[in-house]
Amino acid sequence: MTEKIKSLIQLDSIEPEALKQIYDVASLDIVKKLAIMPDVHTGYDLCIGGVALVEEHISPSFVGYDIGCGMCFVDTGIKAEEIFKTKKDREEIAKEIYKEIPVGKNIRKKPLDYEKFHSASGDSSLEKKVNDKLFHSLGTLGSGNHFIEIGKNLEGNVCVTIHSGSRNIGHTIASYYMKKGRFLPLDSFWGKAYLEDMNFALDYALENRLTMMKIVLKVLGFTEKEIDRIIRKTLINENHNHAVLTDEGVLHRKGATPAEEGQKGIIPANMRDGVYITVGLGNTEFLSSASHGAGRVLSRRKAKELIDIKEFKKVMEMADIVAKVDNSTLDEAPFAYKDINQVIKAQEGVVIKIVDQVRPLINIKG
C-alpha cells in the first residue's frame, strides 16, 4: 500500500488525522497512486493537498464541496508607481472593489448573463436549486480565505490575483452527488452525470474568477481594449479542486496546483507574503501537481484563540498592505499558515520552478 504513496514531505511530519486519511485512501484497490503535496492538511475524505489517481471511477468527495476552487492571475505590465502614488490611492481602489464585487455571503443584486444549468441527472429540483443562484453569484468572491490581491511583482508591475471557486453552484452539485456514492463507475449513469455536472461547475468557477478580474482591471483604470490585451497575454486561470480523465485513470486534485510540463501556476502564501508564479515540470511521479498554497497550521478556532490581534496589525502595517485587519480576519493572519519558504523548498526543482513573486499592496477578503 505505501508504495502507492509519493509524498513531497515526510509522512511523519503530517498531522495524524490527515495521515489517517492518506492511509485509508491508499488502502483502496481502485486507488492506483496517491501524491501528497507539502501543504497537506485534513480535508473531507481525501486530504487537502492530496492527488489521487483512481481506476475507472470518479469520486465526488475526492473533488470536494468547492468544485473548481482555484486561482486567477494577470500581470498588467504597468509599474505600481504609475497607478498608486500614495497609500490613499490604494485605499480608494480597495473601497471601489468592495463596491463593485460582492464578498462574503453577498451575491449580485442584478443578475449576470450565463448559460442555464441543465443537469445530466435530469433532476429538475437540482436544476432549480442551481439556476436560482447561478446568475446572481457570477463575479462574487465568497468568504474565508477567498481573496482578491493587487500586488507588485519582481519587475515592479501591478499584478492581480484572485482566489475563488464555483460558489454555491459547485456546493449544491457536490452535495447532491456525494449522496450517490463515494466512487461512481465512469460508465454508470451517476458517474457520467457527475462528470458532466462537475464540468459545468469547473467552467463556472473559471468564468467567476475571470468576471471579477475584468472588474478589478476596470477599477484600476484600464480600458476595455487594454483589459483584453492583458488577459490575452498574461492570464493564468486554473482550478485546484477537480477531476480530470487521463489515459492512466481519473486524476482527482483536492487542493493541488496542476503542474504539467510548461504549465503556469499560482501558489499563494498568505495575505502578507503574496503569491508565487510557477511553471510545472511535468513530474509524473507526483502526478504532475504542486501545492495550492502554504496550508493551515492553525484551525480557524485555534487561530482566533492563539493569535494576538496586535501582532497581526503590526506585521501588516510593517508590510504596508491595505487590508481588512481586525477580529473578523484574525483566522486569516499569516501565522495561521505554514511558512511558505519551507513549502516552496519542498517542491522547487521537483515539480515546479518559480518564475515570479508578487508582494501584496492591497488585499480584499470577505
Ligand X SMILES: Nc1nc2c(ncn2[C@@H]2O[C@H](COP(=O)(O)O)[C@@H](O)[C@H]2O)c(=O)[nH]1
Residues at the contact surface with ligand X, assessed by CB under 6 A: 39, 48, 69, 145, 147, 149, 163, 255, 268-271, 274-275, 292-295, 332, 337, 363
Which partner in Mn ion, ligand X, none is near 61 (CB below 5 to 8 A by kind)?
A: none
Choose between 69 and 80: whose C-beta lies nearer to Mn ion: 69
Choose between 191 and 258: whose C-beta lies nearer to ligand X: 258
d(CA 96, CA 354): 32
Choose between 34 and 184: whose C-beta lies nearer to ligand X: 34
| Least distance (Å) between residue 39 CB and ligand X | 6
By CB under 5 A, is residue 243 in contact with Mn ion?
no
Choose between 126 and 340: whose C-beta lies nearer to ligand X: 340
d(CA 202, CA 120): 15
Question: What is the DSSP secondary structure assignment for residue 156, as one 8-state letter?
Answer: S
C-alpha cell at 359: 508582494
Burial class (CB in 10 A: 0-12, 13-18, 19+), 156: exposed
Choose between 160 and 227: whose C-beta lies nearer to ligand X: 160
Torsion over CA: 73, 75, 80, 83 (sign): negative
Q: Contacting Mn ion (CB under 5 A), which of 18, 37, 54, 69?
A: 69
| Least distance (Å) between residue 145 CB and Mn ion | 7
DSSP per-residue letters across 21-68: HHHHHHTSTTEEEEEEEEEEE--SSSPEEEEEEESSEE-HHHH-SSTT
| Least distance (Å) between residue 222 CB and Mn ion | 26
Listed ranges 33-41, 61-69, 269-277, 351-359: which one lies at the site for Mn ion (CB under 5 A): 61-69
Buried residues in 112-134 as b, exposed as e (16+ CB within 10 A): eebeebebbbeeeebbebbeebb
| Least distance (Å) between residue 239 CB and Mn ion | 9
| Least distance (Å) between residue 46 CB and ligand X | 13
Q: Dmax of the chain from CA atoms?
A: 59
By three-state DSSP, how is residue 253 classified? strand
Task: Specify whether the CB–CB gap between 167 and 208 falls below 8 A.
Answer: yes
Which partner in Mn ion, ligand X, none is near 265 (CB below 5 to 8 A by kind)?
A: none
CA 117 to chain CA centroid, nearest Å = 23
How far CA 76 is from CA of 70, 107, 161, 165, 307, in Å, comes to 20, 27, 11, 23, 35
Which partner in Mn ion, ligand X, none is near 158 (CB below 5 to 8 A by kind)?
A: none
By CB under 5 A, is residue 72 in contact with Mn ion?
no
By three-state DSSP, how is residue 229 classified? helix
d(CA 189, CA 176): 14
Rg (CA), the chain: 20
Choose between 69 and 72: whose C-beta lies nearer to Mn ion: 69
| Least distance (Å) between residue 223 CB and ligand X | 27
| Least distance (Å) between residue 166 CB and Mn ion | 11
Which partner in ligand X, Mn ion, none is near 337 (CB below 5 to 8 A by kind)?
A: ligand X
| Least distance (Å) between residue 88 CB and Mn ion | 32
Choose between 69 and 160: whose C-beta lies nearer to Mn ion: 69
Choose between 256 and 307: whose C-beta lies nearer to Mn ion: 256
Which partner in ligand X, Mn ion, none is near 271 (CB below 5 to 8 A by kind)?
A: ligand X
- What dihedral do alpha carbons 262, 264, 267, 272 form, nearest 10°? 130
Which partner in ligand X, Mn ion, none is near 21 (CB below 5 to 8 A by kind)?
A: none
> Around Cβ 205, how many Cβ atoms within 10 Å?
28
| Least distance (Å) between residue 69 CB and Mn ion | 3
Choose between 121 and 257: whose C-beta lies nearer to Mn ion: 257
- Contact positions toward Mn ion, by CB under 5 A? 69
